[in-house]
Amino acid sequence: MLSFKEWHHPGREKVRDMDITTSKRSHKLQTISAQSAVKENADLIIDYLSQLSVDYVFGIPGGAIEPLYNALARSQRSGGPQPIVARHEAGAAFMADGYARESGKLGVCCATTGPGTTNLITGVACAYSDSTPMLVITAQTSIATFGRGALQESSSTGIDTVAMLEHCTRFSTLVSHADQLPYKLLTAITYAFGNTPGPVHLSIPVDILRAPVNQKPNIRQLVSLQNQIIQPDPNSIKQLATLLKNTKKAVFVLGKGAQDAVPEILAFAEQKNWPLVTTPMGKGLVSSYHPLFKGVFGWGGHQSAVDALKLKQADLIIAVGTVLDEGGTCGWDQETIFSERLIHIDANSSHLSRSPMAQMHIHATPKLVFEGLIKKHKFSKKSQLVSPKTSGFPQQVSLLNKNRCHLVAEKIKPQFLIWHLCQQLPDNTSVVTDSGNCFLWGIHYWMHRAQAKYKNLFLIDMGIGAALADRNTPRICLTGDGSMLMNGNEITVAQQHGLNVIFIILNDHALGMVKHGQRQAKAEAIGFDLPKINFAQFANTMGIVGYRIESVNDLVDLDLQELLAINGPVVLDIVIDGEETPPMDMRLKVLGTLNN
């Protein structure tokens, strides 16, 4: 149950911190190149990826992509980028996406020609929607065979994969001559990290991948491409500072694009005593227990966030780094965020085009905007407030059906499950969720205690790639039985590489969002039933630790700390009460199917 979602550039600070490491790697690369010249164009590609500090290339081998895997084998032996073999090419694309989000580096995935490439498209489209910098490398049959019916041909004379990927990438091209490769690669990387970042695609025939490099490669300093910032216009900062100085009531709306600026935004908000809300994709940027945090605005969100944005509570709405899509605007609600009270700050110009009603747009890197505002107002540069340590609910965030979070019933309530987990797991736990019912349950009931700097502790669909980028953060994945049946084979990648991700399956024997959507819309009840699967046994057959949880006592008896210490993934198959309806009213209102 995957969806296209909002995203932004990953942490700029992470990229800056990589400069020294990258410089050392560059020196090592140049030394290696001097000692033994690169033999094939595939090696040249890997050298450039190493220059960008890329650690992994996600994909599945095949005949036409074989030269790239040969180069990866040589690279792995010398400490450079190494392959991660997915179980399906779509999984490879999602892993590359998660790796990019978590690390701040370029995500890279690859596939062989024909169906290998077409299998990538869903994951690439997701990265495109979320503006994730990703390099997609696909193979072609030899140029001489174009148009002659070669096996799995996908050139312009066959199944044109370059054309297919044009619609979900920032740049998609065929490398038809070996001399084009370095230039098109550099162009692709530039587009990937541009002001409207996203995936880029190079389609390379096998004979060009295998061809010897004609000259010594020019190993450029490519790190600057990862650290593009947009300086704010000084007049805009001055105008905004004056406007905010004369404003009594305002509220901040933080999307994922605000990630790098969170410390500065918190410092500014605290000085003004202005509340903050996040979009669903910004959840995890601010501690749920911060005294100014009013919850999530959008799908699965909180009424307290909606109230904070109404006219009587906010003279201005300052939206930072949000794509302003359906899920993050309560269906483009004009009584809250979509009004002339809006100030929209974003580094992605395409996001700004979605707020024509705003009284002010600032196209700039948010961190620089708030550094400028803090300087103008002579505020403290650091957040002064500390989120309280408590085992109770955040007092400033409204929750639906609070009683179910503590209700010990015959069947495990999903509200009880999410609340129990966030009470028992470490404060800095990173939550990954798919886009089904568990997304809505997680958005509404998971409460982050930790205040992470330059890091989002709530991601969508990207658990394994994120875990490879950061093995030290405790990580759980909330998923449903429907999603597990679609993509559950990828947990063996986590097993193979010793990644400690706890996969928590909300097992209701149904496509839950479909079932509840049909019920609330009074539509025909059809197509949502799933077989009763024991996913613990499924995990055990693959050598993965798995537990079947059918009662509250089973859940409470789990030692989650012990599970987090296992060298590998864990599957918790939790049978929940499938009759509990998730907070999905906003989605149904947009569809026009909600019956009041």
pLDDT of 9 strictly over 50: no
Phi and psi of 388, rounded to 5°? -70, 150
What's residue 517's pLDDT? 80
**92 burial via Cβ count (<10 Å: 0-12, 13-18, 19+):** buried
Comparing 382 with 114, the larger pLDDT belongs to 114
Token output for 315: 């003279």
Q: Indicate the helix (H) or strand (E) that contains 135.
A: strand 134-140
Q: Name the pLDDT band for 32 (thresholds 50, 70, 90).
A: very low
- Least Cα distance to 544 among 566, 574, 575, 576 occurs for 566
Judged by average pLDDT, the poorest of 120-124, 288-292, 509-513 is 509-513
What is the C-alpha separation between 411 and 30, in angstroms, rounded? 61
Looking at residue 77, its amino acid is R
Distances (CA, A) of 236 to 106, 231, 253, 356: 31, 11, 19, 17
Per-residue pLDDT reduced to its tens digit, 529-545 = 999 999 999 999 999 99
Token output for 137: 């490398």
- Pairing mode of beta strands 250-254, 134-140: unpaired
Helical H runs in 522-574? Answer: 535-540, 552-557, 560-564
Per-residue pLDDT reduced to its tens digit, 337-388 = 988 999 999 999 899 999 999 999 999 999 999 999 999 988 887 777 766 6
- Least Cα distance to 484 among 546, 440, 543, 527 occurs for 546
Q: Name the pLDDT band for 18 (thresholds 50, 70, 90).
A: very low
Judged by average pLDDT, the poorest of 7-21, 136-150, 263-277, 462-476 is 7-21
pLDDT of 82 strictly over 50: yes
What's residue 379's pLDDT? 86
What is the C-alpha separation between 519 and 72, in angstroms, rounded? 51
What is the C-alpha separation between 576 and 407, in angstroms, rounded? 13
Q: Indicate the helix (H) or strand (E) that contains 460.
A: strand 458-460
Residue 20, Cβ neighbours under 10 Å: how many? Answer: 9
What is the C-alpha separation between 119 and 98, in angstroms, rounded? 18
Average pLDDT of the segment spanning 507-512: 90
Contacts of 364 (CB under 8 A, 6+ apart): 230, 231, 232, 233, 236, 345, 347
pLDDT of 11 strictly over 50: no
C-beta separation of 486 from 535 below 8 A = no
* Stated length of the chain: 596
What's the chain's average pLDDT?
87
What is the C-alpha separation between 253 and 279, in angstroms, rounded? 7
Per-residue pLDDT reduced to its tens digit, 289-336 = 999 999 999 989 999 999 999 988 999 999 999 999 888 888 888 889
Looking at residue 357, its amino acid is M
Longest dimension (CA), the chain: 73
Distances (CA, A) of 413 to 45, 318, 438, 576: 50, 36, 12, 6
Report the percent of the chain where pLDDT is more than 70.
88
- Least Cα distance to 463 among 97, 89, 88, 36 occurs for 97
What's residue 522's pLDDT? 83
What is the C-alpha separation between 324 and 335, in angstroms, rounded? 14
How many Cα atoms occupy the beta-carbon half-sphere of 329 within 13 Å? 24
Distances (CA, A) of 354 to 298, 323, 342: 16, 8, 12
pLDDT of 58 strictly over 70: yes
What's residue 459's pLDDT? 82
Token output for 250: 């305002």
What domains can you pick out in the chain, each with its CATH number? 12-226 (3.40.50.970), 234-377 (3.40.50.1220), 402-591 (3.40.50.970)
Looking at residue 313, its amino acid is Q
What's residue 71's pLDDT? 96
For 124-170, list the strands marked E by DSSP: 134-140
Token output for 451: 């205040």
Q: Indicate the helix (H) or strand (E) that contains 372.
A: helix 366-377
C-beta separation of 353 from 345 below 8 A = no
What is the C-alpha separation between 425 and 289, in angstroms, rounded? 16
**328 burial via Cβ count (<10 Å: 0-12, 13-18, 19+):** buried
C-beta separation of 568 from 495 below 8 A = yes
Token output for 234: 């000084």
